Amino acid sequence: MVKTDFGPPKYDTMLHPIIKRNYGKWKYHEVIRPGVIKRVAESGDVIYVVRFGTPRLLSIYTIRELCDIADKYSDGYLRWTSRNNVEFFLTDEKKIDALIKEVKKRVGFPCGGTWDAVTGKYGLSNIVHTQGWVHCHTPAIDASGIVKSIMDELYEYFVDHKLPAMCRISLACCANMCGAVHASDIAIVGIHRTPPLPDDDMVRRTCEIPSTVAACPTGALKPDMKAKTIKVDVEKCMYCGNCYTMCPGMPLFDPENDGAAILVGGKISDARRPPELSKVVVPWVPNEPPRWPTLVKYIKQILEAWASNARKHERLIEWIDRIGWERFFEITGLEFTEHLIDDYRITPYFYGELRTSVQFRW
Amino acid sequence: MSETPLVDELEKGPWPSFVKEIKKTAENMEKRAAQGMDIKLPKTARALLKQLEISYKDKKTHWKHGGIVSVVGYGGGVIGRYSDLGDKIPEIEHFHTMRINMPTGWFYTTKALRGLCDVWEKWGSGLTNMHGSTGDIIFLGTRSEYLQPCFEDLGNLEIPFDLGGSGSAIRTPSACMGPALCEFACYDTLDLCYELTMTFQNELHRPMYPYKFKFKCSGCPNDCVAAKARADFAIIGNWKDEIKVDQEAVKEYAKWMDIENEVVKLCPTKAISWNGRELKIDAKNCVHCMHCINKMPKALKPGDERGATILIGGKAPFVEGAVIGWVMIPFIEIKKPYEEIKEIATRTLEWWDEEGKFRERLAELIWRKGVREYLKVIGKDVDVRIVKAPRNNPFMFFKKEELRPSPYIEELKKRGMF
């Protein structure tokens, strides 16, 4: 009999003994150097959490090497963060250097990805991203290749604390956004720019016409009942690709016109300023594999314009709030085009009066 | 000359390379298979690289649309994936993904990880994502006929692993590291997340809803798992009483920190004052944003009256637009066995299941039906903390019992309009 519905291993069987012993009883933390967080418990116990960036796509042979390293340095325990970094737990401060050296040598992962709010010196964390051409059927851009190209260029910010505030960069390879990048300081989103070209035969064979028509947010699809297919009103289509997600007969890929949009100014933490959705500042950048030089240039331009002008603890949107969008476009050198004016009929601002922050008074 | 000159470019540079990971997998799998190890798909990693090279040349994906595959008894947990280059590169014709439910908080023993690697070396491509966007361990690429034996081997490991959620189901819940490592955690994120995962195993493994549904647990308003923007049901640790201040520790920070400019002036409600000896926080005005606590973790702590705020409806743009979750329950106690929160989640799911249209996320349903109706469903009263401001239009619904009796009402009744 095959077991089902038994769920994940229980978390408390996966915890380092020091973590288990001090569960819920941590007193404070200190970032003692980029990539290394010292956590001190009420009991006086200390654990050093050492963080490394990974490419997210990992070989089982690399995971085994990480296990060897964890057995040697952190008593057989390790953890991944929500942004694809891997962490080891050390009880002996003296072993940190050897660990960093060994990780670098064996798997090539850099130590970093931390920030120190206390001193107001921040590092760049890893870019969270989606599958792209490695595994997805709806992407407008690749994911891993772009992330690798950007992180090569921003490497110094990962391994050091050189930024004025937290900066979250995320990438989703289409508007379906399994990576949910819509509230990031800098977001890269794959977009299509051409309406779907219905494959009538495929629509007939594989699609449910009413639910596909209903999936269009702008009402651009009409059933053609006589021909048993779908017609596209090209004036209304905004190329979101939701119809293709619903129906394989509605492909909208055009290698010369697919590409990426860049959004900025989103945040999720409530620190200082409530959460905020990111806003489009570059409407489209073409796909330029293998290294996407134009896209990388824009990202670096935005990051460095912010980093050299923002005050301590001022995230991208806080900086923009202070200087104004006029100044943002001037300083970053980006062009404000007509595409950046919202003309999507339905926006969540219908419900703009609802609170989207956990900031309130009691 | 390399077969994959374009993707080879991505082996260069200081950041760890996913291309190196794929090549390393290919070399090891081929070598070990040649040595006689029981490896079913030694050529898949190499084939992926070949397909990727073609995508890099063509500037488009070569994965076909969907296909329903799963394991016996489940409706999800596996993403069917087929290549449109199957005739050219047969090793990659099937490249299904398995989502494996990670241990809550992504904590592992090396023993658990080695077990996973052994199973995936035998039945899959040897490639993984640690982790997918929702949080699962992703096993990238296997054939239909190996899904079931792979699943069974995972379940028979000494530390067994189960599949996560996919499709129109509850997706694998995730949580920040919470009380395991962080002094800011206002509730036990790991335990609640684990309990929700176990309570909704059926709904996680058997897609039955209008669309996806995500639970995420963050221990404080910093929200390290980005629950507010990504979860239909976000549980964010919060507190009601005043921030605890250790004045001696504040003085230690004052020796080198510019408290006036970096703490006092950055407080969003100007609730903090500092006179060089004492830090005062006006509790009535504090909005628990975490900035001062982040700045002085040795001196400041969240208060004692701890619980969580529940935000409902966070989602990405599909279908109608992106939403940051709406505060529907400003404060709730989070205590084992979590009956209240499970009840609210169950009522929410039942309502959405009943009323939601195909591909309508919870936010879109609430949008269509109104917040008032949702609050009735979960049995919660209105609270001014649900809104940023009251409505700015006078178009309000009134219930019959709110109206005064009148001849007009009588006329409405006569015409069957009341």
pLDDT in tens, A116-171: 999 999 999 999 999 999 999 999 999 999 999 999 999 999 999 999 999 999 99
Residues 6+ apart with CB under 8 A from B276: B254
Rounded distance, CA A279 to CA A302, Å?
13
Would an 8 Å CB–CB cutoff place A290 in contact with chain B?
Answer: yes
pLDDT at B47: 98
Percent of chain A with pLDDT over 70: 98
Rounded distance, CA B122 to CA A244, Å?
34
- Which two tokens mark A201? 């035969």
The residues pairing with A186 across neighbouring beta strands, listed in sequence order, are A169, A264
pLDDT at A351: 63
Nearest to A276 by CA among A173, A355, A332, A163: A355
pLDDT at A220: 96
Rounded distance, CA A189 to CA A140, Å?
8
Across the range B82-110, mean pLDDT stands at: 97
| pTM, 2 dp | 0.96
pLDDT at A205: 93
Across the range A61-79, mean pLDDT stands at: 98
DSSP B119-174: HHHHHS-SEEEE--SSS-EEEE---HHHHHHHHHHHHTSSS---B---SSSBPPPE
The one-letter amino acid at A289: P
Residues of chain B positioned with their CB less than 8 A from the CB of A60 = 25, 116-117, 120-121, 126-128
β-strands A46-53, A85-90 pairing: antiparallel
The one-letter amino acid at B111: K
DSSP A75: T
B361, B230 in Cβ contact below 8 A? no
Would an 8 Å CB–CB cutoff place A49 in contact with chain B?
Answer: yes
Rounded distance, CA A63 to CA B271, Å?
48
Rounded distance, CA B61 to CA A141, Å?
8
Which among A14, A59, A346 has the least Cβ separation from residue B107?
A14
B102, B172 in Cβ contact below 8 A? yes
Residues of chain B positioned with their CB less than 8 A from the CB of A49 = 181
Rounded distance, CA A313 to CA B414, Å?
66
pLDDT in tens, B101-153: 999 999 999 999 999 999 999 999 999 999 999 999 999 999 999 999 999 99
Instruction: Determine the residue of chain B that is closest to A38 in CA distance.
Output: B181
pLDDT in tens, A258-303: 999 999 999 999 999 999 999 999 999 999 999 999 999 999 999 9
Nearest to B243 by CA among B186, B200, B188, B194: B186
User: Is the pLDDT score of B415 beyond 80?
Assistant: yes
Sequence-separated contacts (24+) of A116-120 with Cβ below 8 Å: A116/A31, A116/A161, A117/A313, A117/B294, A117/B295, A118/A30, A118/A31, A118/B253, A118/B257, A118/B294, A118/B295, A118/B296, A118/B297, A119/A161, A120/A164, A120/A165, A120/A312, A120/A313, A120/B262
Q: What is the CA angle B233-B238-B243, rounded to 5?
A: 170
Residues of chain A positioned with their CB less than 8 A from the CB of B20 = 108
Residues 6+ apart with CB under 8 A from B418: B400, B409, B412
Rounded distance, CA A339 to CA A354, Å?
27
pLDDT at A348: 53
- Which two tokens mark A269? 């933490």
Nearest to A263 by CA among A358, A142, A180, A162: A180
Element (H, E) at B19: helix B18-34
Rounded distance, CA A180 to CA A266, Å?
12
C-alpha distances in angstroms, B86 versus B41, B143, B230?
15, 12, 35
pLDDT in tens, A182-232: 999 999 999 999 999 999 999 999 999 999 999 899 999 999 989 999 999
**SS3 state at B356:** coil
Residues of chain A positioned with their CB less than 8 A from the CB of B16 = 53-55, 107-110
Rounded distance, CA B127 to CA B97, Å?
10
What sign does the dihedral A33-A34-A36-A40 (CA atoms) show? positive
Q: Residues for chain B: how many in total? A: 418
Instruction: Determine the residue of chain A that is closest to B256 in CA distance.
Output: A119
With bands split at pLDDT 50, 70 and 90, how would you rate the model's confidence at B296?
A: very high
pLDDT in tens, B177-201: 999 999 999 999 999 999 999 999 9
Would an 8 Å CB–CB cutoff place B73 in contact with chain A?
Answer: yes
Percent of chain B with pLDDT over 70: 100
C-alpha distances in angstroms, A208 versus A223, A239, A243, A267?
10, 20, 11, 38
Rounded distance, CA A176 to CA A153, Å?
27
* Interface with A, mutate which of B7, B9, B10, B375 (most A CBs under 10 A): B10
- Which two tokens mark A236? 């209304």
Using the beta-carbon criterion (under 8 Å), do A9 and B160 form an inter-chain contact? yes
A203, A227 in Cβ contact below 8 A? no
Cβ atoms within 10 A of the Cβ of A162, count?
A: 14
Q: Residues for chain A: how many in total? A: 362
**SS3 state at A30:** strand
DSSP B226: -
Rounded distance, CA B161 to CA B154, Å?
5
Residues of chain A positioned with their CB less than 8 A from the CB of B17 = 55, 108, 148
User: Is the pLDDT score of A350 beyond 80?
Assistant: no
Task: Report helix angle B18-34 to B44-58, nearest 10.
Answer: 150
Residues of chain A positioned with their CB less than 8 A from the CB of B103 = 8-11, 13-14
C-alpha distances in angstroms, A265 versus A182, A316, A317, B141, B324?
10, 5, 4, 36, 14
Using the beta-carbon criterion (under 8 Å), do A14 and B109 form an inter-chain contact? yes
ipTM: 0.97
Residues 6+ apart with CB under 8 A from A357: A270, A274, A275, B327
Rounded distance, CA A46 to CA A115, Å?
19
Task: Report helix angle B339-355 to B189-199, nearest 10.
Answer: 50
Instruction: Determine the residue of chain B that is closest to A42 in CA distance.
Output: B183
User: Is the pLDDT score of B317 beyond 90?
Assistant: no
**Residues of chain B numbered 159-188 and touching chain A (CB < 8 Å):** 159-162, 174, 176-177, 179-183, 185, 188
pLDDT at A293: 98
Nearest to B328 by CA among B306, B310, B347: B310
Average pLDDT of chain B to the nearest whole number: 96
Nearest to A69 by CA among A81, A52, A83: A52
